[in-house]
Structure 1
Amino acid sequence: MRHLKTTTHPDIEGLDSTTIFNRNAARAIVLDGEDILLLYTERYHDYTIPGGGLDEGEEVIAGMVRELKEETGARNIRDIEPFGIYEEFRPWHKNDADVVHMISYCYTCKVDRKLGETAHEHHEVQNGMEPVWMNIHQAIAHNERTMAESPKKGMSIERETFLLNLIADELLK
């Protein structure tokens, strides 16, 4: 799978003398014309691509399908194709490491437009996460406004907005 981008949080000065926790994630890019299936999170006022961390020993595509079903209620997931890898290094605020190295494996796929029931985790419910079909250009503009105006902006919205722009440039031609 092709490498899309590597980002490093500005607080990380170097990786040589740090303890790194490796985390793999899978993300699902679901387009229907210029509409894309996203998650709106009220707490962060942003739109994100469905996906998340892989369970221990879980295959990447199986994890992508699981996350997509849980977060959006997607049905009839099909035509899965690799899109690319987004890699990031962030501070890790737990005792077992200084830095988390997260690799997001991104795949395109198709789903039925009508979504089923979600199975959100407690923190997702608390954060006000909801699946939505949205015009990709409107989602990009929204996230860019949020990045410019929000003091809560972090690396996640930067990753998501980068991916949304790349998707629009490459897949909507």
Structure 2
Amino acid sequence: MRLLKSTIHPDISDMSARQFTRKATRAIVLKGENILLLYTKRYHDYSLPGGGIDDGESHVAGLVRELKEETGAHDVKDVQAFGLYEEFRPWHKADFEFMHMQSYCYICSIDDELLEPELESHEISNGMYPIWMNIHQAISHNEHTMANSQKKGLSIERETFLLKLIVSELLAS
């Protein structure tokens, strides 16, 4: 899979320090200029649906599971690789100094009807919910959050980069 971007958080100074790798999938589901996203009230941002790949799970199986859990999407088909976004970010728990986050992005289609999401408790408490959103409005919203919000999360830069790349590569005519 092609590497879309690799970033190192400015707080990481020693790349030989103890790290662990977290692999995740991200779904790109488009209907014209609308895209299926997750809005998270806590961070005031839009992100692609997806999440961690379980041990022994394929990327596509993880993608299908995460889409169902976070958005209620079903009948996932036409899955195509888009690219890998990797991040080296601080980790503030015992045993590791930083995390190597690998986000494998896939384009896919889903059934038009969304079923009830099966959000985890932390996703619910963060105010997360699925929404179809105009991709240009989502980018503008995230850019405003990055420029003006103290509560922005670490993922917003990745998500905004990916949304802009989706526009330039998948929506450009």
**TM-score between both structures, scaled by the size of structure 2:** 0.97
Does residue 24 (structure 1) correspond to residue 23 (structure 2)? The answer is yes
Cα distance between partner residues in 2 of 1:94 and 1:165? 32
Q: What secondary structure, in the 3-state scheme, does the structure 2 residue paired with 1:103 have?
A: strand
Please name the residue that 1:94 is paired with: 93
2:148 maps to what in 1?
149
Within 5 Å, which residues of 2 pair with 1:14-163? 14-16=14-16, 18-163=17-162
SS of alignment partner, residue 13 of structure 1: coil
Looking at structure 2, the residues matched to 79 and 157 of structure 1 have their Cα atoms a distance apart, in angstroms, of 27
Tell me the residue number matched to 2:167: 168
Aligned mates of 1:154, 1:117 — CA distance in 2 = 26
Q: Is the 8 A contact 2:45 2:152 kept in 1?
A: no
Rounded to whole Å, the distance in 2 between the matches of 1:78 and 1:110 is 5
Contact 1:9–1:155, Cα closer than 8 Å, also in 2: no
Deviation of 1:75 (Å): 1.8
- State the Cα deviation string for residues 20-71 of structure 1 (Å, max 9, x = none): 1111001100000000000000111100000011111211110011001100
Please give the secondary structure, in 1, of the residue aligned with 2:11: coil
CA distance in 1, matches of 2:132, 2:169: 19
Structure 1: any 5+ residue segments left out of the alignment?
none
1:152 Cα deviation (Å)? 2.1
1:28–1:108 Cα contact (<8 Å) kept: yes
Aligned residues: 172
How far did residue 14 of structure 1 move? 2.3
What are the Cα deviations for residues 91-134 of structure 1, in whole angstroms up to 9, with x where unaligned? 11111211100111000000122210100000000001010001
TM-score (norm 1): 0.97
Structure 1 Cα separation of the partners of residues 136 and 64 of structure 2? 25
Matched letter for residue 98 of structure 1: E
User: Which ranges in structure 2 are unaligned for 5 or more consecutive residues?
Assistant: none
* 1:8 alignment partner AA: I
CA distance in 2, matches of 1:155, 1:4: 18
SS of 2:112's equivalent in the other structure is coil
SS of aligned partner of 1:94: coil
**Structure 1 residues 124, 154: closer, same or farther in 2, change over 3 A?**
closer
Shift of 1:150: 0.6
CA-based RMSD? 0.8
Distance, in Å, in 2 between the alignment partners of 1:56 and 1:73 is: 22
Whether the aligned pair in 2 keeps the contact of 1:21 and 1:96 (CA below 8 Å) is no
